[in-house]
Structure 1
Amino acid sequence: MANVLPAERRLEVLAALVNGTSIRAASRMTGVHQDTIGRFGQAIGEGCARLHDRLVRDLTCPLVDLDEMHSWCGRRQVHVDPAQHDAATSGEQWIWAAICRTSKLVIAWHVGKRDQESADALVEDVRARLTVMPQITTDGLGLYAQPIAANFGRAAPYMQTVKNFTARPGKPGTSEKFAVERGVDFIQKRAVFGTPDPAKATNYAIERANLTARQWNARLRRRTLAFSKKLSRHRAAIALHYTYVNLCHLPRNMRGTPAMAAGITDTVWSLQELMDAALAEPAGKKPEPQPLAIPKPEGAARELPAGRGWLRVLPGGSAPSAPTAPQSPPVVPVAASPEPEPPPSQPPPERRRMVQLSLFGERESPIGGDDGGIQ
């Protein structure tokens, strides 16, 4: 018991960690050794991951955004020597996250490399926590298409928002390194699967969540020395941040926490409640995929049998009119054929001379001659 921190001191350390303070800074603020703070942060982060698995499941999220965020672990080098460092745990580590846009709830996250295995792990975790087919929006990364088709089907409404960057001249007076800046020229939306609504395809919610993570987690800041040195503690710090945001944080323009908006809890959790629940949370089972219900589309629609979907009226159509008595088809008048024109006038045929044979051997006499008879 002599090596266990008092509850008041642990609460001070936790408050420092969730508000963007590094381990060394938290040690200077609280007087607790940095190794003790590291072990405590890992224990409470792993408990937050188990708590998240128990609470965040059976969700009805209509809009889901997915994105990935860059971070460092072990050492700030892209290429490491496998003989000295483990390539899987050193260098770049990407944080894959999914958020419900309507409630701002972080549904799932995964820490790993920027490869197909990490994309599959995130999408599988998201699918296991949902009970309603959502509209999915991602950036232009092609690693999402395969797991979305495998877990949600090719009929799932999935759209990509692709940012197109252009080089622009930097501000006058800057160094040569910043003489050219890259800016977003325009964003292109393209449907990958299903029939997504382009007006609802955006990544602003997950981009804002990434900004909050970099602000409140010292390990994720750019150009810092506070990055994680061990992958296990890096994953624990990510779990602590997302669980704290879901259960304890009140976003701007919202009356409750994301967990309250999603129907998971009905109160705002305090730091004391989060710490007690995370440290006491036992190991449990991960959520398993449940059948997905297809939500009713907006406007006039008719449900198909056996929950196969909906028939909806497309824009520009007209509603069917009431049935009427059958009518005979209209008689189409047939134009009379024109009378044939008379042939052009021809000169009268020449009068041919008709010869009558004589029965008695007299000489031939033309009919109609001058004498008018037979001679």
Structure 2
Amino acid sequence: MQHPRLVSPGSFCWNQDCPDYGKVGHGNIIKFGRTQKGTQRYRCKTCSKTFVQTKGTVFYGRHHSQETILECLAWLAERSSLAAIHRVKGIKEETVLDWLKEAAKHVEEIEALLLANYHLTRAQLDALWTYVGHKGERGHLEEEERGTFWRGTIIDIDTRLRVGRAIGKEEGEVATALMAKLKARGHPDSPPAIASDGEGSYREAMVKTWGKAPKYAGRGRRPRRRQAQPDWHYLQVIKNRSGNRWKGITIKVVYGDPEEVLNLLGEHTAYVERTHLTSRQMNGRLVRKTLSFSKRREMLEASCAWEDWVYNLTRSVKTLRIEAGNGRGRWQPRSPAMAAGLTDHIWTVKELLMTVVAPDVTNTK
């Protein structure tokens, strides 16, 4: 079922001084004509304030039509570049960038709500290489906001849902950020079962995030160094190469009983590697050789946030389909969010942009 706070903008009063502020389906909102552009207007019967249907969305207060904004943002998740959109639609690149920033903020609010207490049984983590401004070649020095970067991803093995991302200059930085997100989102005390490659300092990040110092025995110095806990499950898939030649893989069980870990996690990181291929197909900024690479880090971060939730909510994954149960052998397609129980249908991009997070008024008087 869909989260009760994910609603259309016309479902509640936006006036914070109204006694019925944020109350969804309270019966105080009525239709109140349309604007000159045809946008539906609403009125709150309690405070008499009016607002339009696009309130709280990327469409609010824009000169361009909803259809134009929708098309441009949808194309960004189909590997299109800003230059290509400008050539086809005649929209300035700076304008589309502004829409992308607002769309990223919008989906991050949805992400924070849906994943606030999302519990994983088993996950795969990995990071892909990308760059901002330049690749650090031909005399270009690495800078804090420019040069090579790593885009890390956490994927739920069972639902293919992308449950976290991080962007950083070093893989160790990305690993620490990903573990922090897992801890903040449903795993405050211990990590889920994790599979990763042999890079990225994930082992150290796990200990830093969830490790505990041994109990003090009463003699000598009190132990302070954090250690892994007995209930952890962590596996590394180490890729062996000699120069550029592939030599095979080595499976290393880092934490947990080997037989139990292998049965739980398998011997691969195929799901997260496959979702990285999807990322490079959806997000033109992540293509290895391209002219549409990010020029600013903030736009790389915005595009990755937008891409993640277009994938999670609007894309069906063939391996997630289930039998429709109509007796004719047909299949029901499912998105990762459907498989995770976060929604009951595959969203459209318009629905994603027109769905807002209602205020939490449960604890207000």
Superposition TM-score tier, normalisation by shorter sequence: 0.5 to 0.7
Deviation at 1:62, TM superposition (A): 1.8
Cross-structure match for 1:68: 127
Is structure 2 residue 303 aligned with structure 1 residue 247?
no
**Residue identity opposite 2:292 in structure 1:** A
Deviation at 1:5, TM superposition (A): 1.6
Deviation at 1:233, TM superposition (A): 0.9
- The answer (yes or no) to whether the contact 1:50–1:282 under 8 Å persists in 2 is no
Greater Rg over alpha carbons, structure: 1
Q: Following the alignment from structure 2 to structure 1, what is the Cα–Cα distance between the partners of residues 168 and 359?
A: 22
Is structure 2 residue 195 aligned with structure 1 residue 137?
yes
**Residue identity opposite 1:29 in structure 2:** V
Q: Following the alignment from structure 1 to structure 2, what is the Cα–Cα distance between the partners of residues 47 and 162?
A: 37
Paired residues for 1:1-375 under 5 Å: 4-77=63-136, 80-81=140-141, 87-131=143-187, 134-141=192-199, 143-153=201-211, 154=228, 155=230, 156-166=232-242, 182-195=244-257, 196-199=260-263, 200-255=266-321, 256-277=334-355, 280-281=356-357
1:179-201 per-residue CA deviation (whole Å, 9 max, x = no partner) reads xxx34321101111222522424
Deviation at 1:161, TM superposition (A): 0.6
Q: Following the alignment from structure 2 to structure 1, what is the Cα–Cα distance between the partners of residues 251 and 270?
A: 14
- The answer (yes or no) to whether the contact 2:125–2:154 under 8 Å persists in 1 is yes
Is the partner of 1:197 in helix, strand or coil?
helix
Q: Following the alignment from structure 2 to structure 1, what is the Cα–Cα distance between the partners of residues 296 and 95?
A: 15
CA RMSD of aligned residues (A): 2.3
The runs of at least 4 aligned residues of structure 1 exceeding 6 Å deviation read: none
Structure 1 165/282 Cα, relative in aligned 2: closer, same or farther at 3 Å? farther
Is the partner of 2:319 in helix, strand or coil?
coil
Q: Following the alignment from structure 2 to structure 1, what is the Cα–Cα distance between the partners of residues 343 and 309?
A: 13
- Percent of pairs with identical residues: 27
**Residue identity opposite 2:291 in structure 1:** L
Deviation at 1:151, TM superposition (A): 3.0
Q: Following the alignment from structure 2 to structure 1, what is the Cα–Cα distance between the partners of residues 301 and 200?
A: 25
Q: Following the alignment from structure 2 to structure 1, what is the Cα–Cα distance between the partners of residues 81 and 134?
A: 16
Structure 1 38/99 Cα, relative in aligned 2: closer, same or farther at 3 Å? same
Q: Following the alignment from structure 2 to structure 1, what is the Cα–Cα distance between the partners of residues 248 and 234?
A: 20
- Aligned pair count? 264
Structure 1 15/141 Cα, relative in aligned 2: closer, same or farther at 3 Å? same
Is the partner of 1:264 in helix, strand or coil?
coil
Q: Following the alignment from structure 1 to structure 2, what is the Cα–Cα distance between the partners of residues 248 and 188?
A: 36
Deviation at 1:76, TM superposition (A): 2.8
Q: Following the alignment from structure 2 to structure 1, what is the Cα–Cα distance between the partners of residues 121 and 106?
A: 28
Deviation at 1:36, TM superposition (A): 0.8
Task: Extract unaligned runs of 5+ from structure 1.
Answer: 168-181, 285-375
Q: Following the alignment from structure 1 to structure 2, what is the Cα–Cα distance between the partners of residues 29 and 144?
A: 43
- The answer (yes or no) to whether the contact 1:59–1:262 under 8 Å persists in 2 is no
- The answer (yes or no) to whether the contact 2:141–2:147 under 8 Å persists in 1 is no
Deviation at 1:114, TM superposition (A): 1.3
**Residue identity opposite 2:156 in structure 1:** C
- The answer (yes or no) to whether the contact 1:80–1:90 under 8 Å persists in 2 is no
Deviation at 1:102, TM superposition (A): 0.9
- TM score, norm. by length of structure 1: 0.66
Structure 1 213/222 Cα, relative in aligned 2: closer, same or farther at 3 Å? same
- TM score, norm. by length of structure 2: 0.67
Deviation at 1:54, TM superposition (A): 1.3
Is the partner of 2:103 in helix, strand or coil?
helix
1:271-309 per-residue CA deviation (whole Å, 9 max, x = no partner) reads 1111123xx55899xxxxxxxxxxxxxxxxxxxxxxxxx
**Residue identity opposite 2:248 in structure 1:** F
**Residue identity opposite 1:265 in structure 2:** T
